[in-house]
């Protein structure tokens, strides 16, 4: 039996090559790509401007298959979250966050994560496997066209685009699944697919220094770095990858990246952990780190920690977060405090609620969330807004 090729796995050049194998001209690949990524088509018969002979060939050899949806929830604030099946008993979360003038999709690149950051529930479940291109871009494909279907917006380039920004901040360390991640990024940027500008696509990394350099050459989108600590001993304990790529190397990599980046700053994400990394002294160390003799143009995004019992950590109090932000702002650093959206999605580089190893655990996970809310209050996992 022939294995069907999932066309979501192919980047533009691969699709041209694939059409070539079928004896078709390169422009057919463009048409096909538009049907797939701009019209959300998965049925070859719907591709009316392709010759019937080509459609028939495709039906026997190819498929357009995004990860199957296991669950689909919309919060009162409009945040929509899908749990999708990525096979072999694994599932990942994809989250859509609507805001006034944009819609952001947070996508995952790995099932689980090997980096094992201390404050991250994904890290606690360990690494399961890398996602394929089709599973990564398939999250965007699925979300864009599900959102359009829900709102009755026509597919195609004329219909109002629902997802204007993508952040690779879901489950996994994208730079440890490099090739599929970059291929998916290229599809996001391609004019015959999603046509997003590089400024509107952000990759978040825990600091895989050599791959930051590679990304700057292969597909320099906006970069966010999960920093979470102001000095090496502290970061060694929170983000174990720091032992391999300490802060001085990470800051150098950020400076190098900025020469190619679409934005003129790096976003540093900083999870606020009570009594661990949230003192004024830590904030002053951060200022010295990014504004010392060799500054790194940056913004800070402070993230109130979403506690889970196994971590042994708790969220910083709001007044502490405000005071910490003030030290950064007094030094002239643009600083925001992340509002969490929906019920359990305040994710910095994979801080998704985690226990999504397989579909049989969804109910268990929901129950766990209810337990957490009982234990930590109904605000567990919800937006903590800090008014200035």
User: Does residue 226 bind ligand SF4 (CB under 6 A)?
Assistant: yes
The residue from 19, 219, 298, 349 that is catalytic is: 349
Q: What is the DSSP string of 68-107?
A: EEEEEEE-TTS-EEEEEE-STT-EEEEEEEEETTEEEEE-
Cβ distance 109 to 177 under 8 Å? yes
Residue ranges for the known binding site for S-adenosyl-L-methionine are: 172-173, 204, 226-228, 306
Using CB positions, name the residue nearest to ligand SF4: 350
The residue from 93, 135, 144, 355 that is catalytic is: 93
User: Does residue 116 bind ligand SF4 (CB under 6 A)?
Assistant: yes
Helix and strand numbers (H, E) in the chain are: 12, 14
User: Does residue 206 bind ligand SF4 (CB under 6 A)?
Assistant: yes
Identify which range of 35-43, 79-87, 111-119, 359-367 contacts ligand SF4 by CB under 6 A: 111-119
Identify which range of 43-51, 114-122, 249-257, 314-322 contacts ligand SF4 by CB under 6 A: 114-122
**Nearest distance in Å: CB 169, ligand SF4:** 8
First to last CA, the chain: 63
User: Does residue 93 bind ligand SF4 (CB under 6 A)?
Assistant: no
d(CA 227, CA 206): 7
d(CA 34, CA 30): 6
Q: How far is CA 3 from the centre of its chain?
A: 30
Q: Closer CB to ligand SF4, residue 216 or residue 351?
A: 351
Q: Closer CB to ligand SF4, residue 327 or residue 348?
A: 348
User: Does residue 133 bind ligand SF4 (CB under 6 A)?
Assistant: no
Which residue carries 């999932």 as its tokens?
Answer: 6
Instruction: Say whether 259 is catalytic.
Output: no
157-196 footprint of ligand SF4 as x/- string (CB under 6 A): --------------xxx-----------------------
**Nearest distance in Å: CB 34, ligand SF4:** 33
User: Does residue 350 bind ligand SF4 (CB under 6 A)?
Assistant: yes
CA distances from residue 333 to 206, 252, 286, 383 in whole angstroms, order as listed:
21, 19, 10, 23
Q: Closer CB to ligand SF4, residue 116 or residue 311?
A: 116
d(CA 35, CA 46): 9
Residue ranges for the known binding site for [4Fe-4S] cluster are: 113, 117, 120
Instruction: Say whether 349 is catalytic.
Output: yes
The count of other CB atoms within 10 Å of the CB of residue 203 is 25
Among 58, 91, 95, 117, binds ligand SF4 (CB under 6 A): 117
User: Does residue 242 bind ligand SF4 (CB under 6 A)?
Assistant: no
User: Does residue 209 bind ligand SF4 (CB under 6 A)?
Assistant: no
d(CA 111, CA 354): 10
Which residue carries 């298959």 as its tokens?
Answer: 65
* DSSP E strands, the chain: 5-6, 62-63, 68-74, 80-85, 91-99, 102-106, 110-112, 127-130, 165-168, 201-205, 222-226, 266-272, 298-304, 334-337
Query: What residues act catalytically?
Result: 93, 349
Interface residues with ligand SF4 (CB under 6 A) are 113, 115-117, 120, 122-123, 171-173, 206, 226, 349-351
């Amino acid at each position: 039996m022939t294995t069907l090729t999932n066309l979501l796995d192919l980047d533009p050049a691969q699709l041209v090559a694939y059409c070539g194998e079928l004896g078709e001209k390169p422009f057919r690949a463009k048409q096909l790509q538009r049907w797939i990524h701009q019209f959300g088509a998965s049925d070859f018969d719907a591709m009316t401007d392709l010759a019937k002979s080509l459609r028939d060939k495709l039906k026997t050899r190819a498929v357009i298959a995004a990860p199957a949806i296991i669950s689909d929830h919309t919060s009162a604030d409009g945040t929509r979250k899908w749990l999708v099946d990525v096979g072999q008993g694994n599932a990942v979360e994809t989250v859509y966050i609507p805001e006034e003038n944009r819609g952001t999709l947070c996508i995952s690149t790995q099932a689980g994560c090997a980096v094992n950051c201390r404050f991250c529930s994904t890290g606690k479940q360990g690494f399961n496997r890398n996602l394929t291109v089709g599973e990564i871009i398939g999250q965007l494909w699925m979300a864009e066209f599900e959102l359009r279907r829900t709102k009755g917006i026509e597919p195609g380039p004329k219909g109002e685009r629902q997802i204007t920004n993508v952040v690779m901040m879901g489950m996994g360390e994208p730079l440890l699944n490099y090739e599929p991640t970059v291929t998916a990024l290229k599809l996001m940027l391609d004019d015959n697919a999603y046509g997003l500008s590089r400024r509107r696509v952000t990759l978040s990394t825990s600091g895989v220094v050599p791959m930051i350099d590679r990304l700057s050459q292969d597909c320099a989108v906006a970069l966010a770095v999960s920093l979470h600590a102001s000095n090496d001993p502290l970061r060694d304990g929170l983000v174990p990858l720091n032992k391999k790529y300490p802060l001085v190397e990470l800051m150098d990599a950020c400076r190098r990246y900025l020469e190619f980046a679409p934005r003129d700053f790096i976003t540093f994400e900083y999870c606020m952990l009570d009594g661990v990394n949230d003192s004024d002294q830590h904030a002053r160390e951060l200022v010295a780190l990014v504004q010392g003799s060799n500054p790194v143009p940056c913004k800070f995004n402070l993230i109130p920690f979403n506690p889970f019992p196994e971590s042994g950590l708790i969220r910083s109090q709001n007044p502490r977060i405000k005071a910490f932000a003030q030290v950064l702002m007094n030094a002239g650093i643009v600083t925001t405090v992340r509002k969490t959206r929906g019920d359990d999605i305040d994710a910095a580089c994979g801080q998704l609620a985690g226990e999504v190893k397989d579909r049989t655990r969804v109910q268990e996970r929901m129950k766990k969330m209810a337990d957490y809310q009982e234990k930590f209050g109904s605000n567990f996992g919800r937006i903590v807004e800090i008014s200035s």
